[in-house]
Amino acid sequence: MPEALVRACVGLLPVTGASVSLSGGGVMRATWYASDDTAGQLAEAQYSLGDGPCQSALELCAPVLAPDLTRGGDARRWPVFAHQAVGLGVRAMFSLPLGVGGLAIGTLDLYRDTAGFLSGRDLRIALLMRDAVTFAVLNLQAAYDAAERSGGDAVASWVEALQVNHTEVHQAVGMVMVQLDVDPQQALDHMRARAFTQGRSVSQVAHDVVVRTLRFWPERRGRRGSNGHDRRRGGGERHDGER
Protein backbone atom coordinates (compact mmCIF):
# COMPACT_ATOMS: atom_id res chain seq x y z
CA MET A 1 0.00 0.00 0.00
CA PRO A 2 2.61 2.66 0.86
CA GLU A 3 4.55 1.86 -2.30
CA ALA A 4 1.40 2.03 -4.43
CA LEU A 5 0.37 5.42 -3.04
CA VAL A 6 3.79 7.04 -3.41
CA ARG A 7 4.34 5.64 -6.90
CA ALA A 8 0.89 6.85 -7.90
CA CYS A 9 1.99 10.37 -6.97
CA VAL A 10 5.03 10.05 -9.22
CA GLY A 11 2.95 8.62 -12.05
CA LEU A 12 0.20 11.24 -11.92
CA LEU A 13 2.33 14.34 -11.39
CA PRO A 14 5.26 15.98 -13.22
CA VAL A 15 7.69 15.07 -10.44
CA THR A 16 10.81 12.92 -10.29
CA GLY A 17 10.20 11.26 -6.93
CA ALA A 18 8.22 11.33 -3.70
CA SER A 19 8.29 10.21 -0.09
CA VAL A 20 6.05 10.11 2.97
CA SER A 21 7.41 10.92 6.43
CA LEU A 22 5.51 10.49 9.69
CA SER A 23 6.09 12.74 12.68
CA GLY A 24 5.65 12.20 16.39
CA GLY A 25 6.51 15.80 17.21
CA GLY A 26 9.78 17.66 16.83
CA VAL A 27 11.80 14.87 18.44
CA MET A 28 10.66 11.86 16.43
CA ARG A 29 10.17 11.27 12.73
CA ALA A 30 10.45 8.33 10.38
CA THR A 31 10.26 7.85 6.60
CA TRP A 32 7.25 5.68 5.71
CA TYR A 33 8.22 5.14 2.08
CA ALA A 34 10.47 6.79 -0.52
CA SER A 35 10.16 6.20 -4.27
CA ASP A 36 13.94 6.28 -4.78
CA ASP A 37 17.25 6.86 -2.99
CA THR A 38 17.19 10.62 -3.61
CA ALA A 39 13.73 10.99 -2.05
CA GLY A 40 14.93 9.04 0.98
CA GLN A 41 18.08 11.17 1.28
CA LEU A 42 16.01 14.36 1.10
CA ALA A 43 13.77 13.17 3.93
CA GLU A 44 16.74 12.14 6.08
CA ALA A 45 18.62 15.38 5.38
CA GLN A 46 15.70 17.51 6.55
CA TYR A 47 15.34 15.50 9.75
CA SER A 48 19.07 15.66 10.42
CA LEU A 49 19.19 19.42 9.82
CA GLY A 50 15.84 20.23 11.42
CA ASP A 51 15.23 22.44 8.42
CA GLY A 52 13.75 22.36 4.93
CA PRO A 53 10.33 22.42 3.21
CA CYS A 54 9.17 19.32 5.08
CA GLN A 55 9.98 20.83 8.49
CA SER A 56 8.31 24.11 7.51
CA ALA A 57 5.16 22.28 6.36
CA LEU A 58 4.98 20.46 9.70
CA GLU A 59 5.37 23.70 11.65
CA LEU A 60 2.90 25.69 9.54
CA CYS A 61 0.41 22.84 8.93
CA ALA A 62 0.23 24.18 5.37
CA PRO A 63 1.70 23.29 1.97
CA VAL A 64 5.21 24.62 1.38
CA LEU A 65 6.19 24.99 -2.27
CA ALA A 66 9.83 25.54 -3.26
CA PRO A 67 9.93 25.78 -7.06
CA ASP A 68 13.62 26.74 -7.31
CA LEU A 69 16.16 25.64 -4.69
CA THR A 70 19.08 26.92 -6.75
CA ARG A 71 18.49 30.63 -6.16
CA GLY A 72 16.20 33.31 -4.80
CA GLY A 73 13.97 33.02 -1.75
CA ASP A 74 13.91 29.24 -1.61
CA ALA A 75 17.70 28.96 -1.50
CA ARG A 76 17.94 31.70 1.16
CA ARG A 77 15.15 30.25 3.31
CA TRP A 78 16.91 26.91 3.81
CA PRO A 79 20.52 27.60 2.73
CA VAL A 80 22.16 24.43 4.06
CA PHE A 81 19.35 22.11 2.99
CA ALA A 82 19.07 23.78 -0.43
CA HIS A 83 22.81 23.28 -0.97
CA GLN A 84 22.52 19.57 -0.10
CA ALA A 85 19.39 19.11 -2.22
CA VAL A 86 20.98 20.73 -5.28
CA GLY A 87 23.99 18.49 -4.75
CA LEU A 88 21.62 15.52 -5.09
CA GLY A 89 20.30 16.87 -8.38
CA VAL A 90 17.08 18.27 -6.90
CA ARG A 91 15.84 21.63 -8.19
CA ALA A 92 12.29 21.91 -6.81
CA MET A 93 10.42 20.45 -3.84
CA PHE A 94 6.80 20.53 -2.69
CA SER A 95 5.84 19.44 0.85
CA LEU A 96 2.20 18.82 1.78
CA PRO A 97 1.26 18.19 5.44
CA LEU A 98 -0.71 15.09 6.34
CA GLY A 99 -3.47 15.32 8.93
CA VAL A 100 -6.83 16.81 9.77
CA GLY A 101 -8.00 19.67 11.94
CA GLY A 102 -4.81 21.69 11.78
CA LEU A 103 -2.66 18.91 13.26
CA ALA A 104 0.16 17.67 11.01
CA ILE A 105 1.15 14.04 11.52
CA GLY A 106 3.62 13.90 8.64
CA THR A 107 4.25 15.12 5.11
CA LEU A 108 3.97 14.03 1.51
CA ASP A 109 7.14 15.35 -0.15
CA LEU A 110 7.48 15.67 -3.92
CA TYR A 111 10.68 16.62 -5.74
CA ARG A 112 11.83 17.06 -9.30
CA ASP A 113 15.12 17.61 -11.10
CA THR A 114 13.95 20.76 -12.91
CA ALA A 115 12.89 24.07 -11.40
CA GLY A 116 9.36 25.41 -11.77
CA PHE A 117 5.95 25.65 -10.13
CA LEU A 118 3.27 22.99 -10.18
CA SER A 119 0.30 24.05 -12.31
CA GLY A 120 -3.04 24.67 -10.61
CA ARG A 121 -4.31 21.33 -11.90
CA ASP A 122 -1.22 19.45 -10.72
CA LEU A 123 -1.42 21.05 -7.28
CA ARG A 124 -5.06 19.96 -6.96
CA ILE A 125 -4.07 16.39 -7.85
CA ALA A 126 -1.21 16.55 -5.33
CA LEU A 127 -3.62 17.66 -2.59
CA LEU A 128 -6.00 14.81 -3.45
CA MET A 129 -3.09 12.37 -3.20
CA ARG A 130 -2.16 13.96 0.12
CA ASP A 131 -5.68 13.26 1.39
CA ALA A 132 -5.44 9.63 0.27
CA VAL A 133 -2.10 9.21 2.06
CA THR A 134 -3.54 10.85 5.19
CA PHE A 135 -6.44 8.38 5.17
CA ALA A 136 -4.01 5.47 4.86
CA VAL A 137 -1.78 6.75 7.67
CA LEU A 138 -4.72 7.29 10.02
CA ASN A 139 -5.73 3.67 9.45
CA LEU A 140 -2.24 2.22 10.02
CA GLN A 141 -2.99 0.71 13.41
CA ALA A 142 -6.29 -0.83 12.31
CA ALA A 143 -4.61 -2.47 9.31
CA TYR A 144 -1.72 -3.66 11.48
CA ASP A 145 -4.09 -5.24 14.03
CA ALA A 146 -6.09 -6.93 11.28
CA ALA A 147 -2.92 -8.35 9.72
CA GLU A 148 -1.80 -9.76 13.05
CA ARG A 149 -5.18 -11.43 13.62
CA SER A 150 -5.20 -12.97 10.16
CA GLY A 151 -1.58 -14.03 10.29
CA GLY A 152 -0.73 -11.86 7.26
CA ASP A 153 2.74 -10.38 6.94
CA ALA A 154 2.32 -7.76 4.20
CA VAL A 155 1.05 -4.93 6.39
CA ALA A 156 2.80 -6.01 9.57
CA SER A 157 6.24 -6.10 7.98
CA TRP A 158 6.39 -2.46 6.90
CA VAL A 159 4.63 -1.16 10.02
CA GLU A 160 7.14 -2.98 12.20
CA ALA A 161 10.04 -1.66 10.12
CA LEU A 162 8.73 1.87 10.56
CA GLN A 163 8.36 1.35 14.31
CA VAL A 164 11.94 0.08 14.60
CA ASN A 165 13.31 3.19 12.88
CA HIS A 166 11.08 5.43 14.98
CA THR A 167 11.92 3.67 18.25
CA GLU A 168 15.69 3.71 17.78
CA VAL A 169 15.84 7.49 17.43
CA HIS A 170 13.45 7.89 20.37
CA GLN A 171 15.57 5.56 22.50
CA ALA A 172 18.76 7.40 21.56
CA VAL A 173 17.19 10.75 22.47
CA GLY A 174 16.35 9.35 25.90
CA MET A 175 19.90 8.10 26.42
CA VAL A 176 21.42 11.46 25.41
CA MET A 177 18.99 13.24 27.76
CA VAL A 178 20.43 11.23 30.65
CA GLN A 179 24.03 11.61 29.50
CA LEU A 180 23.82 15.41 29.16
CA ASP A 181 20.95 16.19 31.61
CA VAL A 182 18.98 18.05 28.93
CA ASP A 183 15.43 18.04 27.58
CA PRO A 184 14.36 15.98 24.51
CA GLN A 185 14.72 18.81 21.99
CA GLN A 186 18.20 19.69 23.25
CA ALA A 187 19.22 16.04 23.07
CA LEU A 188 18.05 15.86 19.46
CA ASP A 189 19.90 19.09 18.69
CA HIS A 190 23.15 17.54 19.98
CA MET A 191 22.57 14.48 17.78
CA ARG A 192 21.83 16.71 14.78
CA ALA A 193 25.01 18.69 15.37
CA ARG A 194 27.04 15.47 15.50
CA ALA A 195 25.38 14.20 12.31
CA PHE A 196 25.99 17.49 10.48
CA THR A 197 29.68 17.80 11.42
CA GLN A 198 30.35 14.20 10.32
CA GLY A 199 28.20 14.25 7.18
CA ARG A 200 25.96 11.49 8.58
CA SER A 201 22.26 11.14 9.33
CA VAL A 202 20.50 11.40 12.68
CA SER A 203 19.40 7.78 12.27
CA GLN A 204 23.03 6.66 11.95
CA VAL A 205 24.04 8.66 15.02
CA ALA A 206 21.05 7.27 16.93
CA HIS A 207 22.11 3.72 16.09
CA ASP A 208 25.61 4.37 17.43
CA VAL A 209 24.16 5.75 20.65
CA VAL A 210 21.81 2.80 21.12
CA VAL A 211 24.53 0.18 20.56
CA ARG A 212 26.79 2.22 22.86
CA THR A 213 29.62 2.91 20.44
CA LEU A 214 28.92 6.64 20.88
CA ARG A 215 28.37 8.54 24.11
CA PHE A 216 27.76 12.25 24.68
CA TRP A 217 29.63 13.91 27.52
CA PRO A 218 28.65 17.15 29.29
CA GLU A 219 30.94 20.15 29.16
CA ARG A 220 33.22 20.36 32.17
CA ARG A 221 34.41 23.53 33.79
CA GLY A 222 38.09 24.26 33.25
CA ARG A 223 40.57 23.89 36.08
CA ARG A 224 43.59 26.17 36.27
CA GLY A 225 46.88 24.30 35.97
CA SER A 226 50.28 25.09 37.46
CA ASN A 227 51.26 27.15 34.39
CA GLY A 228 48.28 29.49 34.91
CA HIS A 229 46.39 28.27 31.83
CA ASP A 230 42.98 26.67 31.87
CA ARG A 231 42.94 22.91 31.59
CA ARG A 232 39.63 21.78 30.18
CA ARG A 233 38.30 18.31 29.77
CA GLY A 234 36.95 17.77 26.29
CA GLY A 235 33.23 18.26 26.34
CA GLY A 236 30.63 17.16 23.82
CA GLU A 237 30.53 13.66 22.44
CA ARG A 238 33.04 10.94 21.76
CA HIS A 239 33.15 7.34 20.62
CA ASP A 240 33.96 4.59 23.11
CA GLY A 241 37.68 4.21 23.39
CA GLU A 242 38.43 7.86 22.55
CA ARG A 243 40.56 9.78 25.02
Boundary residue ending a domain (91, 116, 138): 138
Give domain status of residue 147, yes or no: no
What's the pLDDT score for residue 146?
A: 63
Is residue 87 a part of any domain in this protein? yes
Phi then psi for 36, rounded to 5 degrees?
-160, 175
Question: Residue 3: its pLDDT value, please?
Answer: 82
Within a domain: 201? yes
The mean pLDDT of 153-164, rounded to a whole number, is: 51
**Single-letter amino acid, residue 220:** R
- Asked if residue 93 is part of any domain, the answer here is yes
Residue 242 has pLDDT above 50, yes or no: no
Tell me the helices (H) and strands (E) count for the chain, helix number first.
10, 9
Least confident of 18-22, 130-134, 149-153: 149-153
- Does 20 share its domain with 126? yes
| 134 and 42 part of one domain | yes
Considering the domain architecture, whether residues 128 and 162 belong to the same structural domain is answered as no
Q: Tell whether 126 and 196 lie within a shared domain.
A: no
Report the candidate in 188, 164, 163 with the shortest Cα–Cα distance to residue 176: 188
pLDDT at position 232 is: 40
In terms of C-beta density within 10 A (0-12 exposed, 13-18 middle, 19 or more buried), how is residue 27 classed?
A: middle
One domain, residues 41 and 101: yes
Q: According to the model, what pLDDT value does residue 206 have? A: 83
User: What's the pLDDT tens digit per position in 75-86?
Assistant: 999 999 999 999
Looking at the structure, do residues 166 and 216 belong to the same domain, yes or no? yes
Q: How many domains does the chain have?
A: 2
pLDDT of res. 199: 77
Q: What is the pLDDT of residue 47?
A: 83
Amino acid found at 106: G
Backbone angles phi, psi at 69, to 5 degrees: -85, 0
Which residue segment(s) compose the domain that 232 sits in? 152-239
Report the share of the chain in percent with pLDDT over 90. 43
Query: b vs e for 161-183, b when ≥16 Cβ sit within 10 Å of the residue's Cβ?
Result: ebeebbebbbebbebbbebbebe
Task: Examine the domain organization and report whether 213 and 106 are in the same domain.
Answer: no
Instruction: Give tens-digit pLDDT for 10-59.
Output: 999 999 999 998 876 555 567 888 999 999 999 988 888 888 999 999 99
Q: What is the pLDDT of residues 107-126, one digit of tens each?
A: 999 999 999 999 999 999 99
β-strand pairing of 17-23 with 29-34: antiparallel
Residue finishing a domain among 138, 166, 194: 138
Last residue of a domain, one of 138, 161, 184: 138
161, 107: one domain? no
Residue 225: the pLDDT is 44
